[in-house]
Amino acid sequence: MSVLTISDLRKEFGDLVAVDDVNFAVDDGEFVSILGPSGSGKSTILRMIAGFETPTAGTIEIEGENVTAAPPFDREVNMVFQSLALFPHLTVAENIGYGLVESGVPEDERRERIAEMLEVVELSGYQDRNIDQLSGGEQQRVALARAIVNEPKIVLFDEPLASLDRKLRQHMQFELQRIQEETGITFLYVTHDQEVAMAVSDRMLVLNDGEMEQLDSVETIYDKPASKFVAQFIGDINLVPASIVEANGTDVTVDSRGNRIHVSDAAGRCVDAVSLEEGADVSVGIRPTGITLGDPDREDVFSVRGEIQNRGYAGDETVYTIDTEYGSFTANTEDRSYDIGDDVTVWWPADEVYLFAPETETASVSDGGGEP
């Protein structure tokens, strides 16, 4: 059963449409991320679910009950704020127990539940500390504990990890997953950081300009993006302008400046509505991870010559920026043998190709990454 059902949700601020007819449902115990660039309306959706904003149209149901007009204090959801919003005048225990006091939990039980919760977030014995005595990571845990201790139907996260450094953020991601599994509470996590979203969630909802682009599992969104926006926002993609020179149903050959590749399952590789007629213009997209450097070891690949402009390390992989006749390409590979200035062949097989509607500009695009 869906713990949360959002129907035709719309929010206008004056002339601005912040959220435009959004529909989705979240199952009990799921970890769902709402991902989008800043200004895409993701925080507005979260604030409407929490009750801080009133939708212009549409309904919000929590466990089948329509709460669209209910005030924040009458909803069984709790939020972890971007600024954390811990109460500076209260201790750790008083912060965590705040909601329990409001719901009339007796003091003994309160003390017990606060202690249990501190154990879950690995802050045992921190009851009497002041908030300003805690590190950033510890404050995150208190904020999380304060939300979870009330056993809400859903915990809403408004990018609370954005302020942490990378290492701590990654650690907190694992902690979030662990705590979510332990408690079984549904988590709805808003972020602009695709890395965080991909790491923690079961499903992701990608938003652009207030509209839903795609709601799917992390794997599906990466492998089968529903639009060019999704393809560019979730992981990088290199684009090459091309046209279809032969077409037999979904078995097509695309050509770009004499460089040809044969795609046998073109329908399954299409991201946008692409015409597969002979002579139609398309954009060929390729993930940086689908690129191999060096001489092709098979037939029927798309290959381009280029010069290494830059290289950087990302864990096990090396990220190369390669200057080609199509502009700048990004390639992620385990191959570390190239240096800046080396001439190299860049290639990819047909099963790594995506087909997009043609671009108006000719240069390739590879800057769709996570940072806004």
Partner 1 sequence: MSALNTLEGFIHRHGDRIGRGLMVLILTLIWIPIGVVVLMSFAGEGVLSFPPETYTVRWYAEVLNNDDAISATLTSLRVSLVATPITVLISLLAAYGVARYDFRGKNALQALLTLPIIVPLVVTGVAMTLFFGNINLSSGFTTVVIAHIVRTVPFAALIIIPTVIGFDRTLEEASKDLGASELRTFRRVTLPNIMPGVIAGGLLAFTVSFNEFVYTYFVRDTATQTLPVYLWGLIRYGFSPEVNVISVLFLLLAAGILLVAVSLTGLKQVILRG
Q: Please give the residue ranges that form the binding site for partner 1 (CB under 8 A).
A: 50-52, 71-73, 77-79, 81, 83, 85-91, 94, 98-99, 102-103, 130, 146, 150
Considering beta carbons, is residue 57 or 101 the nearer one to partner 1?
Answer: 101
Q: Long-range contacts for 306-311 (Cβ within 8 Å, ≥24 apart)?
A: 306/343, 306/344, 306/345, 306/346, 307/341, 307/342, 307/343, 307/344, 308/338, 308/339, 308/340, 308/341, 308/342, 308/344, 309/340, 310/340, 311/338, 311/339, 311/340
Q: How far is the CB of 69 from partner 1 (least distance, A)?
A: 15
Of the two residues 79 and 205, which places its CB atom closer to partner 1 in the complex? 79
Query: Amino acid identity of 301?
Result: V
Q: How far is the CB of 102 from partner 1 (least distance, A)?
A: 4
Provide the minimum distance between the beta carbon of 78 and partner 1 in the complex, in angstroms, as a whole number.
Answer: 6
Helix/strand/coil for 284: strand
Query: How big is the chain by its Cα radius of gyration, in Å?
Result: 24
Smallest distance, Å, CB 222 to partner 1?
33
As a whole number of angstroms, the distance between CA 254 and CA 283 comes to 10
Where in the chain does DSSP place strands (E)? 2-13, 16-27, 31-35, 57-62, 65-66, 77-80, 154-158, 186-191, 203-208, 211-217, 238-248, 251-256, 259-263, 281-286, 292-293, 301-314, 317-324, 327-333, 343-349, 353-356
**Closer CB to partner 1, 52 or 174, in the complex:** 52
Determine the 3-state secondary structure of 153 from DSSP: coil
Give me the least distance between CB of 110 and partner 1, in Å please.
13
Question: CB-wise, 80 or 244, nearer to partner 1?
Answer: 80
Pair 51, 71: CB distance under 8 Å? yes
266: DSSP letter: H
- How many angstroms separate the CA atoms of 368 and 372, rounded? 9
Q: Of the two residues 134 and 319, which places its CB atom closer to partner 1 in the complex?
A: 134
The whole-angstrom separation of Cα 30 and Cα 10 is 24
| Measured CA angle at 352 (ends 351, 354), to 5 deg | 100
- CB of 5 or CB of 78, closer to partner 1: 78
Task: State the nearest-atom distance from the C-beta of 51 to partner 1, in Å.
Answer: 8
> Which of residues 12 and 53 has its CB atom nearest to partner 1 in the complex?
53
Tokens (6 digits) for 248: 């037999």
Tokens of 299: 């037939």
Min dist CB 85 to partner 1, Å, is: 4
| In the complex, minimum distance from the CB of residue 73 to partner 1, in angstroms, rounded to a whole number | 5
Centroid of chain to Cα 16: 24
Is 85 or 115 the residue whose CB approaches partner 1 more closely? 85
Q: Which is nearer to partner 1, 160 or 241 (CB)?
A: 160
User: Shortest Cβ distance from residue 197 to partner 1 (Å)?
Assistant: 23
